């Protein structure tokens, strides 16, 4: 589903390479975890996958279902089925969360040539998914992410993800800022979305999220390269020994 | 022509004159000779069959106008207007239009298509007479709808007609109020309007009456064809309530380019007037050529105690907008409100705002202004809040927010505050923001195109004002704002 080949990239006018030859293949149904110390390039990788302006690929390619995504706009990638749950979700003042959800869903449906959902159909869907994530109707009336607590922001990201039903879910530090109860709710939400034709990339700094969302493959990203790949036990090892072993290797 | 028939014809002409044909082809019409002099004014007054005092009033205004000069303090620039090159009276004949749609500017047609104009008419028409929510054809062709509308108002004692008709049918009422809020000598454009105004609306809501429906210029739309100089007069007598919608939601070409309207509102004791405008005149082409110069004087007089006047405006059109809907808070405990969205794109120039003049005790006012600038446009909020010596406990809250889209536009806030009473409390908050790249990326990541993302963020920005609009206008206003901002990103 996702193939990242020898990806090199930098941000803005600063020529310093942040990704220095990333290789990664994710198949449908798989859950991959990307772990790594702060500043290793995890968020940069997620932004590049989603197509953020200013993040420039200088070498390599990203294939999504066999086709290069590099020329696609962020909204085209979204419509094709790529979803990024942000580490820091952005505030949209004055726009009710509900309105945002509906606009996003219908924009994607339109781009795929599907009809818009009727309001009752949409409401039914939202209510169901919101309840699963412990999100109240009241919260959905509030402007998106404005004044949301850390936990509310992350749950709202997962709500969007489950509503949009993407093919590839990328989650950037979805566990940060969550207490254990909230972590459980979020992880359950993510697990419900696991399916044989959907792939997931879970980016995290800590192992604890992976107790709840158990990955098939774990990668260690350090200084812009994947320096080690293993099974879920790799995460436990990292938890015990820290990243020190890998930081040196990547130089 | 019987009144009912006349109204039906007008409603029909909405479609034909206004939205498909009227703006490109010179309408065959009954015109006064070009230029302005006393004979032209006599011609206008005679054509309208006005009483003698009205002619004198106009002539006096004209003589006054000759001594005045155009104001230059606003942050707008445009070539000098040759007032003697304009036509001051033109009544359209009923044979408008090019032979086929091919003669119409395709860009304009496209805009109309996006707007879904015929649909909108349906909504408005259905909205005006809520008990008659019928399809558009039925509305246009049905006498009964129009009759119901007229009769219901009549039953309530509400007068709603053109100002020309009012001058003939209710001369004493008009004479009593006309020019009592915006005096003949008020300003250059208002004085010109007083001399040559062609038509406009007249509303009188008698004591204790709550007007049973929203009144809308959609029923009086031909005014916008006949004259660039509209004159509107609305009076709410003691305890009365009226909500008035002024819609100019179709972009229009106008050979004369200049619109100088005057609107006067009078609210007596315990009365309330709500005046909403959605303005979308032709803004000019992408190089800044053409477009309407909109120089408008709108003022409300809260004449009685506990009276209230509320202005809500959505300004998306015109090449130049010079407009300051204001409230004179004369009655004790009276309240004035101004809610505004001003969107400028391309080469548009907007200088707009309000004046809240606190004269009575315990008067309060609230100003919420949302300016959005894109393209190479300039958008200025200009406001005055003043408390006079006797305005004990005057209160004002002003919030001015500007949103910039792109690098080449400007937003300016010019608030003036004057207080001669130490108990007055004025609060002012202002913000300027940009749509951030992060917001755009976030929305696009969720599947919104650039334009959809801008529209969504902008609609969030203007929400507080949109909420003040009657429902059927709110939806349209949001759509209009999105359309006006198309092409502003990327
Ligand atoms: N906008 C930017 N401009 C310049 N450098 C950046 C920018 N964003 C991130 N970086 C740098 O790229 C590196 C990787 O950052 P990031 O991808 O956020 O790491 P992680 O998510 O793994 O903590 C860091 O050295 C950071 O300073
Ligand atoms: Mg990060």
Q: What is the pLDDT of residues B345-356, one digit of tens each?
A: 888 888 899 999
CA distance A90 to chain B (A): 6
Return contacts of B206-209, CB within 8 angstroms, 24+ apart: B206/B157, B206/B158, B206/B237, B206/B240, B207/B237, B207/B238, B207/B239, B207/B240, B207/B268, B208/B237, B208/B238, B208/B239, B208/B240, B209/B156, B209/B157, B209/B158, B209/B237, B209/B239, B209/B240, B209/B241
What does the pLDDT read at residue B288?
67
The fold of A2-86+161-250 is Rossmann fold (3.40.50)
pLDDT at B56 over 50: yes
Confidence of residue B78 (pLDDT cuts 50, 70, 90): confident
List, in sequence order, the alpha helices (H) in chain A.
42-50, 74-80, 97-111, 119-132, 137-141, 150-164, 180-193, 209-212, 233-241, 244-249
pLDDT of B90 higher than 70: no
Strand partners, A62: A4
With contact defined as beta carbons under 8 Å apart, do B322 and B75 qualify? no
Residues whose CB is less than 8 angstroms from the CB of residue B172 and which lie 6 or more positions away in sequence, other chains included: none
For residues B330-342, average pLDDT = 96
Q: Which of A90, A117, A141, A168 to mutate to test the interface with B (most CBs of B within 10 A)?
A: A90
| Average pLDDT rounded to a whole number, residues A40-56 | 95
The whole-angstrom separation of Cα A34 and Cα A204 is: 6
User: A86 alpha carbon to ligand 2 midpoint, in Å?
Assistant: 9
| C-alpha distance from B452 to closest chain A C-alpha (Å) | 8
- Across residues B195-207, what is the average pLDDT? 90
Separation of CA A225 and ligand 1 centre (Å): 14
Does residue A37 line the site of ligand 1, with CB under 6 A?
Answer: no
* pLDDT above 80 (res A246): no
Tell me how far apart the alpha carbons of residues B173 and B182 are, in angstroms, rounded to a whole number.
16
Q: The tokens of A170 are what? A: 């990328």
**Taking CB atoms and an 8 Å cutoff, what residues of chain B touch A84?**
445
Instruction: Say whether B446 and A52 touch across the interface (CB within 8 A).
Output: no
Average pLDDT over chain B, rounded to whole?
78
Is the CB of A35 inside a 6 Å radius of any atom of ligand 1? Answer: no
Calculate ∠ Cα B379-B343-A98, nearest 5°: 135
The pLDDT of residue B490: 52
Q: Which DSSP string corresponds to A228-249?
A: EEE-THHHHHHHHH-SHHHHHH
Task: Encode pLDDT of A230-245 as tens digits.
Answer: 998 888 888 888 887 7
Q: What number is the average pLDDT over the span A129-138?
A: 93
A11 CB within 6 A, ligand 1: yes
B445 vs A contacts (CB less than 8 Å): 50-51, 74-75, 77-78, 83-84, 86
Q: CA A185 to CA B197: how far, in whole Å?
A: 67
Chain A hits for B443, CB-CB cut-off 8 Å, are 92, 104
Residues 6+ apart with CB under 8 A from B396: B356, B358, B364, B365, B366, B367, B385, B424, B425, B426, B427
Ligand 1 atom nearest residue A221's Cα: 22
On chain B, the residues whose CB falls within 8 A of the CB of A50 are 441, 445
Would you state the structure tokens that stand for residue B305, as one six-digit string? 């105690």
- A46 ligand 1 Cβ < 6 A: no
Q: What residues of chain A have any CB closer than 8 angstroms to a CB in chain B?
A: 50-54, 73-75, 77-79, 83-84, 86, 89-95, 99-100, 103-105, 107-108, 111, 143, 160, 164
Interface test with A, best of B399, B446, B451 (most A CBs within 10 A): B446
Return the domain boundaries, chain A: 2-86+161-250
**Is the pLDDT reported for residue B44 higher than 50?**
yes
Of the CA atoms within 13 Å of residue B475, those in its CB half-sphere come to 11
Q: What is residue B95's predicted lDDT score, i.e. its pLDDT?
A: 35
Task: Note whether A53 contacts B437, CB cutoff 8 Å.
Answer: yes
pLDDT in the model for residue B117: 36
- Residue closest via CA to ligand 1's atom 18 equals A43
> What is the reported pTM?
0.80
Is pLDDT of B416 > 90?
yes
A95/B459 Cβ within 8 A? yes
Inter-chain contact A78–B447, Cβ cutoff 8 Å? Answer: yes
Q: To test ligand 1's pocket by mutation, which of A44, A176, A223 has the most ligand atoms within 8 angstroms of CB?
A: A44
Cα gap B83→B148, rounded to integer Å: 43
Q: Residue B125 pLDDT > 60, yes or no?
A: no
% chain A with pLDDT above 70: 98
Which among A73, A94, A160 is the nearest to B461, CB-wise? A94
CA distance B456 to B461: 9
Is the pLDDT at B40 greater than 70? The verdict is yes
Contact indicator for B362, B333 with CB cutoff of 8 Å: yes
Tell me what the pLDDT averaged over chain A comes to: 92
CB-nearest partner of B447 from A52, A90, A107: A107
Residue A97, min C-alpha distance to chain B (Å): 11
Give pLDDT tens digits for B363-394: 999 999 999 998 888 899 999 999 999 999 99
- Contact, B278 vs B224, CB < 8 A? no
- pLDDT-based confidence at residue A102 (cuts at 50, 70, 90): very high
Indicate if ligand 1 lies below 6 Å from the C-beta of A38: yes
Q: Does A92 contact B460 at a Cβ distance shorter than 8 Å?
A: yes
pLDDT of residue B24: 33
Which residue's alpha carbon is nearest to atom 16 within ligand 1? A41
Among candidates B438, B447, B456 on the partner chain, residue whose Cβ is nearest the Cβ of A90:
B438
Ligand 1 site-directed mutation target among A39, A201, A247, most atoms within 8 Å of CB: A39
Closest-approach residue (CA) in chain A for B457: A92
Q: What is the pLDDT of residues B127-141, one digit of tens each?
A: 333 332 222 221 222
pLDDT tens digits for B451-489? 899 999 999 999 989 888 877 678 778 888 887 887 776
Predicted local confidence at residue A94, as pLDDT: 93
- The rounded distance, in Å, linking the Cα atoms of A74 and B484 is 24
**ipTM of the prediction greater than 0.85, yes or no:** yes
User: A198 to chain B nearest CA, in Å?
Assistant: 17
Residue A208 C-alpha, separation from nearest chain B C-alpha, in angstroms: 27
Instruction: Give me the mean pLDDT over the A39-65 stretch.
Output: 94
Confidence of residue B163 (pLDDT cuts 50, 70, 90): confident
pLDDT in tens, A18-40: 999 999 999 999 999 999 988 99
**Least confidently predicted of A7-11, A178-182, B188-192, B281-285:** B281-285
pLDDT bucket at B406, cuts 50 / 70 / 90: confident
Can you give the pLDDT at residue B248?
60
Res B59 pLDDT > 60? yes
Residues of chain B contacting A100 with CB distance shorter than 8 Å? 446, 456
For A228, B256, B318, B340, B341, the CA distances from B352, given in Å and listed in that order, are 63, 22, 12, 9, 10
Which letter does DSSP use for residue A96 in this model?
Answer: B
Of A187-201, B202-216, B262-276, the range with the lowest mean pLDDT is B202-216
Give residue B7's pLDDT band: very low, low, confident or very high (50, 70, 90): very low
Residue A12 Cβ contacting ligand 1 at under 6 Å: yes
Per residue in B19-36, pLDDT (tens digit) is 232 333 333 446 677 778
Domain locations in chain B?
Answer: 34-323
CA distance B356 to chain A (A): 27
Average pLDDT over residues B439-455: 95
How many A/B residue pairs have CB atoms within 8 Å? 78
């Amino acid at each position: 589903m996702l193939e990242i080949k020898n990806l090199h990239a930098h941000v803005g006018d600063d020529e310093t390479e942040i990704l220095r030859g990333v290789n990664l293949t994710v198949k449908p149904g798989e859950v991959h975890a990307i772990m790594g110390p702060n500043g290793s390039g995890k968020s940069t990788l997620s932004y590049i996958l989603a197509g953020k302006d200013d993040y420039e690929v200088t070498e390599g390619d990203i294939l999504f279902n066999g086709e290069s995504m590099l020329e696609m706009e962020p909204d085209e990638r979204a419509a094709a089925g790529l979803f990024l749950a942000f580490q820091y979700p952005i505030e949209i003042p004055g726009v009710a969360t509900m309105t945002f959800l509906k606009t996003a869903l219908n924009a994607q449906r339109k781009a795929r040539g599907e009809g818009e959902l009727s309001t009752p159909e949409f409401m039914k869907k939202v209510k169901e998914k919101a309840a699963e994530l412990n999100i109240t109707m009241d919260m959905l009336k509030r402007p998106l992410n404005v004044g949301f607590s850390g936990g509310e922001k992350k749950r709202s990201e997962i709500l969007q993800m489950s509503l949009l039903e993407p093919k590839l879910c990328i989650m950037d530090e979805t566990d940060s800022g969550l207490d254990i109860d909230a972590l459980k709710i979020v992880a359950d939400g993510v697990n419900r979305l696991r399916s044989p034709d959907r792939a997931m990339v879970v980016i995290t700094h800590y192992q604890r999220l992976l107790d709840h969302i158990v990955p098939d493959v774990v990668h260690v990203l350090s200084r812009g390269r994947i320096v080690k790949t293993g099974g879920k036990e790799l995460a436990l090892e990292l938890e015990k020994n820290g990243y020190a072993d890998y930081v040196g290797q990547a130089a | 022509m019987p009144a009912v028939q006349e109204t039906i014809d007008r409603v029909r002409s909405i479609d034909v004159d206004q939205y498909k044909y009227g703006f490109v082809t010179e309408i065959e019409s009954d015109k006064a000779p070009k230029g302005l002099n006393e004979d032209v004014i006599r011609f206008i007054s005679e054509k309208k069959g006005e009483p003698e005092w009205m002619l004198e009033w106009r002539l006096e205004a004209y003589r006054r106008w000759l001594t005045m000069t155009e104001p230059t303090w606003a942050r707008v620039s445009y070539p000098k207007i040759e007032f003697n090159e304009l036509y001051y009276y033109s009544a359209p004949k009923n044979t408008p239009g090019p032979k086929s749609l091919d003669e119409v500017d395709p860009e304009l047609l496209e805009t109309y298509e996006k707007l879904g104009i015929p649909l909108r008419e349906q909504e408005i028409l259905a909205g005006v007479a809520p008990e008659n929510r019928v399809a558009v054809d039925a509305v246009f062709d049905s006498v009964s709808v129009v009759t119901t509308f007229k009769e219901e108002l009549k039953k309530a004692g509400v007068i709603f007609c053109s100002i020309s008709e009012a001058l003939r049918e209710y001369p004493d009422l008009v004479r009593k109020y006309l020019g009592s809020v915006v005096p003949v000598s008020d300003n250059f454009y208002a004085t010109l309007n007083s001399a040559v105004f062609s038509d406009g609306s007249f509303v009188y809501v008698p004591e204790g009456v709550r007007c049973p429906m929203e009144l809308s210029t959609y029923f009086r739309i031909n005014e916008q064809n006949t004259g660039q100089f509209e004159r509107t007069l609305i009076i709410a007598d003691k305890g009365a309530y009226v909500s008035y919608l002024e819609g100019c939601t179709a972009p229009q070409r106008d050979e004369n380019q200049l619109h100088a309207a005057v609107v006067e509102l009078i609210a007596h004791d315990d009365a309330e007037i709500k005046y909403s405008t959605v303005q979308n005149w032709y803004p000019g082409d992408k190089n800044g050529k053409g477009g309407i110069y909109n120089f408008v004087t709108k003022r409300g007089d809260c004449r009685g105690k506990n009276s209230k006047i509320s202005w809500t405006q959505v300004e998306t059109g015109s090449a130049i907008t010079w407009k300051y809907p204001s409230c004179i808070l004369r009655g004790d405990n009276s309240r004035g409100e101004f809610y505004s969205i001003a969107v400028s794109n391309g080469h548009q120039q907007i200088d707009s705002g309000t004046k809240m003049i606190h004269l009575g005790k315990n008067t309060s006012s609230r100003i919420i202004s949302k300016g959005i600038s894109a393209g190479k446009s300039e958008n200025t909020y200009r406001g005055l809040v003043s408390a006079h010596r006797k305005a004990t406990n005057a209160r004002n809250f002003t919030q001015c927010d500007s949103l910039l889209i792109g690098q080449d536009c400007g937003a300016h806030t010019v608030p003036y505050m004057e207080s001669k009473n130490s108990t007055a409390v004025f609060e002012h908050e202002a913000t300027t923001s940009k749509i951030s790249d992060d917001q755009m990326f976030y929305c696009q990541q969720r599947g919104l195109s650039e334009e959809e993302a801008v529209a969504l963020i902008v609609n969030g920005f203007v929400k507080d004002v949109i909420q003040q609009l009657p429902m059927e206008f709110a939806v349209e206003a949001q759509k209009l704002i999105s359309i006006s901002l198309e092409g502003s990103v990327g």
